[in-house]
Amino acid sequence: MFSVTVRDHIMIAHSFSGEVFGPAQKLHGATFVVDATFKRPELDDDNIVVDIGLASQELHAICAGLSYRNLDDEPDFAGVNTSTEFLAKVIADRLAGKAAAGELGAGAGGLTGIAVTLHESHIAWASYERDL
């Protein structure tokens, strides 16, 4: 299996509902380093996994749409605990949509999976992986 990973970051504010979250139930900020990994079993005709420039560009567009926002105020996330795990899935699903729409280039049609990892810090991170 071949893979290519691109990186960006998001800076958000949010709060959580539920005792399990302790003090994070209050509004707080978070900065995540975002890694998006694109996977395929065979390289395309150009011997690449995906156009790394387009992958970087589209990940950045998704991150820009989330950054500098209070996610509690975003209609897409109304009543949702926007945990690190949940946000990894949101970003992976949005990247999958861009791949399906051809926004990652013609060669992206051979992708078989996307994994997104959000690094909360140097000691904690969460990931979501999906098939295409």
Per-residue model confidence (pLDDT) at position 107 = 85
Write out pLDDT tens, residues 35-90: 999 999 999 999 999 999 999 999 999 999 999 999 999 999 999 999 999 999 99
pTM of this structure? 0.95
User: What range defines the domain where residue 54 resides?
Assistant: 2-131
Find the angle CA(120)-CA(71)-CA(16) to the nearest 5 degrees: 70
Contact yes or no for 106/77 (Cβ under 8 A): no
Number of separate domains in the chain: 1
Q: Which amino acid is at 9?
A: H
CATH code assigned at 86: 3.30.479.10
